Chains A and B, each alone.
Chain A
Amino acid sequence: MTAYLITGVSICGADQPSDLLLYDGRVADPAEAPSDAVPVDGTGLVALPGLVDLHTHLREPGREDAETVESGSRAAAMGGFTAVHAMANTDPVADTAGVVEQVWHLGQIAGYCDVRPVGAITVGLRGERLAELGAMADSDAHVRVFSDDGICVSDAVMMRRALEYVKAFDGVVAQHAQEPRLTEGAQMNESAMSGVLGMRGWPAVAEEAVIARDCLLAGHVGSRLHVCHVSTEGSVELIRWAKSKGWDVTAEVTPHHLMLTDDLVATYDPIYKVNPPLRTKADVEALRAGLADGTIDCVATDHAPHPTEDKECEWAAAAMGMLGLETALSVVQQTMVDTGLLDWAAVADRMAVRPARIGRVADQGHPLEVGAPANLVLYDPAASRVVEASTLQSLSRNTPYRGMQLPGSVTATFLRGRATVLDGQLQ
């Protein structure tokens, strides 16, 4: 196996540059570099543990026209990720050991990152009967994260049972918090903007009411709750409160909710249609503050590929969701690092360490110390680029950042010591 000797790199933003040897799949002592180690000039680059995404839609099986496990994991590698969690809302739904093992094997074959399947909580995401969570946990895919994402587990009893049941195998229930009755036909954030644009609103309370209930349930039964794509100021306050109670509640925020606001909807361009919807500037600021102080544990992309025809139409007919994998780190740099809210060590914590811990991903999210698995990303924060949808690895083109100038670029990604990206090129 090729060894790589990375020289003069800033590990997690440390002032003193150092060398990193990747040897035999692990981080090793640079003094022991073999003579044929491939040199990588790390000058000016930041090394972070390989990023871990808790929320990725890979669309396979079922919508291979939008994304496949292979194309999605290529996009992940280009974004600096070494592990992604593939959401269960595929067709068929990932609600059996068979489907999650299939997705897991496809990830292994692709080889660009670890693909960790998320198991559905209920059969067919229908909210009626628990899926065989234990079978998925015991399968080759070792599922630990369970979610009906795309649909809220709105029934309080079903949610309680799921929270209780996953304790047997240290699982976590990841909730897409959306009160269904309050959001029937909803098109965008309910705000002055929705009133002017004549669009059915998606009120913040529909998210917050479910989060409040779920936190209380998690506290009551002593289980692990993870809140997907937190999007409102009120949600941040509720999660802060739940954590202050000592309950095992974690939360994620997407890059787009850290940057974009609902005034973009005035273009009626469905590239900005996403669920939960883009919110207000006050929400964006609260989300950034929540991520900075650790109330929100991690950034998760909610990478949601859609074919062009599902976005090239009128707003109401368009699909919800946006690409995220290949721009996540740049968006986090612009919104959190360049603003002084997070340093690179904290970025490593929010994008690798904590998501790996929440997903119970054993060999990901480790500090870059000798002996650690060699999962890492080299990132050039001084670089800058204009996002072009056609150059992305994803099969889909629905990036809301197209045409935007974003800071930074991923120079290299290593998965257990093997380069998946080198010199900015997919390997």
Chain B
Amino acid sequence: MKHHLLSSADLARDDAVLVLDTAAELLSLADRPIKKLPTLRGRTIVNLFFEDSTRTRISFEAAAKRLSADVINFSAKGSSVSKGESLKDTALTLEAMGADAVVIRHGSSGAPHRLANSGWVRSSVVNAGDGTHEHPTQALLDAFTMRKHLGDLDAKRVTIVGDVLHSRVARSNALLLSTLGAEVTLVAPPTLLPVGVETWPVQTSYDLDTSLDKCDAVMMLRVQAERMDAAFFPSAREYSRRYGLDDRRFKRLPEHAIVMHPGPMNRGMEISADVADSARSVIVEQVSNGVAVRMAVLYLLLSGADLSRTDPTASDSTKPEVVS
């Protein structure tokens, strides 16, 4: 695995499988009475959040703490960052603090890439969502959730529906799922598909109904109703009629298919309340799997030199042990 996780494209198939397998091991540990591992004791992980996202920050914080890392939360609101301090100066501060990993959420596409490759910090950089670019740990937790329900993702059909143009979740998922062998179909009105999507390793469709019949998982993306003000679609109603997962469409899904959503949901817009709360919705589970997946990412990035051959639960002194 590379030193940073900036994009799903940084993960070769072996890397991705290692993260998912490691997360599975860690999740089984989480069921034990004492949930903390000493693995990253003495290491410092900084959550650098330029954008509000309590959910993602808490998930990373819980992951780091369960690995016994010291966690510093550095949020932009009300700090020097919002008073015009540059990304560079913030980075130099983190470097001076001795951060081993920086988990960054930023509104500008490529900010994590910039942090990782500018020479400002030596720490590992984990992209926790950048602009409309990527959100690779979200894709990992989605893949993890799918694997639990569907088994190996090779040749599985995944339909991702909604505002692909502005979605970092869609970008990261399209890359990761195809790396894992899944057949991905992106469904959206033409206005919400990016230019050049035909060069992505995915199929695309403008029609949701025909894309549901054979799919194993359907992932609904959050769509902001305000997009209609920029003429991406005429109205929330029309969007919902053409691209919402309502009860009628839900019935077209194969029996075994699961329903996903990265949250936060607009109930009644891209997904109906009944579908969101149905037995085949794994939306709540996605959240809990997020912690295990982020533990795996932090563990693999930070512990040991040759990460591709380590097993976090093996009984080697450099590997994590359950505190007993």
Contacts and interface: CB of A to CB of B under 8 A. Distances in A.
- Mutual binders A and B: yes
Interface of A: 187, 190-201, 203, 267-269, 309, 312-317
A190 B200 CA distance: 15
A116 B82 CA distance: 41
A198 B134 contact: yes
A191 B118 CA distance: 25
14 contacts: A187-B109, A191-B196, A192-B196, A196-B171, A196-B196, A197-B133, A198-B109, A198-B168, A268-B113, A268-B117, A312-B86, A314-B114, A316-B131, A317-B108
Nearest to A317: B108
A203 B73 CA distance: 39
A187 B168 CA distance: 17
Given A267-B117, A313-B88, A314-B87, A195 B197 contact: yes
Interface in B78-121: 86-88, 106-111, 113-114, 117-118
Contacts of A316: 107-109, 131
A192 B202 CA distance: 14
A203 B194 CA distance: 12
B133 A195 contact: no
B108 A314 contact: yes
A201 B171 contact: no
B199 interface: yes
Given A198-B109, A198-B132, A198-B171, A315 B195 contact: no
Contact of B110 (A191, A192, A195, A197): A197
A147 to B, nearest CB: 30
Contacts of B132: 198-200
- Residue among B86, B109, B131, B168 with most chain A CB within 10 A: B109
B130 interface: yes
The residue among A187, A194, A198, A309 with the most chain B CB atoms within 10 A of its own CB is: A198
Nearest to A270: B114
Interface string B161-177: 00000001001000000
Nearest to A189: B195
A268 B110 contact: yes
A306 to B, nearest CB: 14
Contacts of A203: 195
Given A309-B86, A314-B108, A315-B109, A198 B130 contact: yes
A191 B194 CA distance: 9
Contact of B195 (A190, A309, A314): A190
A339 to B, nearest CB: 28
B196 A315 contact: no
Q: How large is the interface on B (under 10, 10 to 19, 20 to 34, 35 or more residues)?
A: 20 to 34
Interface in B127-147: 130-134
A192 to B, nearest CB: 3
B88 A315 contact: no
Contact of B87 (A193, A196, A198, A313): A313
Contacts of A200: 132
Contact of B109 (A199, A309, A312): A199
A314 B110 contact: yes
A6 B194 CA distance: 58
A278 to B, nearest CB: 15
A103 B195 CA distance: 43
B108 A195 contact: no
B111 A314 contact: yes
Contacts of B168: 198
A309 B133 CA distance: 24
B194 A195 contact: yes
Nearest to B130: A198
A195 B86 contact: no
B116 to A, nearest CB: 10
Contacts of A268: 109-111, 113-114, 117
B2 to A, nearest CB: 16
B130 A194 contact: no
Interface in B183-202: 194-197, 199-200
8 closest A-B pairs (Cβ-Cβ)?
A192-B196, A198-B133, A195-B194, A268-B110, A316-B108, A198-B132, A195-B196, A198-B109
Nearest to B110: A268
Contacts of A267: 113, 117
A296 B171 CA distance: 39
A192 B106 contact: no
Nearest to A267: B117
A315 B114 contact: yes
Contacts of A312: 86, 88, 118
B114 A195 contact: no
A193 B194 CA distance: 10
Given A194-B194, A195-B200, A316-B131, 11 more contacts: A196-B199, A197-B110, A199-B110, A199-B133, A267-B117, A268-B117, A269-B114, A312-B86, A314-B87, A314-B114, A316-B107
B195 A191 contact: yes
Interface in B205-237: none
Contacts of A190: 195
B199 A192 contact: yes
Contacts of B110: 197-199, 268, 314-315
A10 B222 CA distance: 66
B105 to A, nearest CB: 13
Contacts of B113: 267-268
Nearest to B196: A192
Nearest to A309: B86
B86 A198 contact: no
Contacts of A191: 195-196
- Name the residue among B88, B111, B134, B195 with the largest chain A CB count within 10 angstroms: B195
Nearest to B193: A195
A192 B201 CA distance: 12
Given A195-B195, A195-B196, A315 B108 contact: yes
A197 B134 CA distance: 8
A316 B118 CA distance: 16
A312 B107 CA distance: 17
Nearest to A310: B86
Contacts of A195: 194-197, 199-200
Nearest to B113: A268
A313 B196 contact: no
A183 to B, nearest CB: 14
A385 to B, nearest CB: 24
Nearest to A312: B88
Of A187, A196, A309, A313, most B-chain CB atoms within 10 Å:
A196
A325 B133 CA distance: 34
A314 B115 CA distance: 8
B86 A192 contact: no
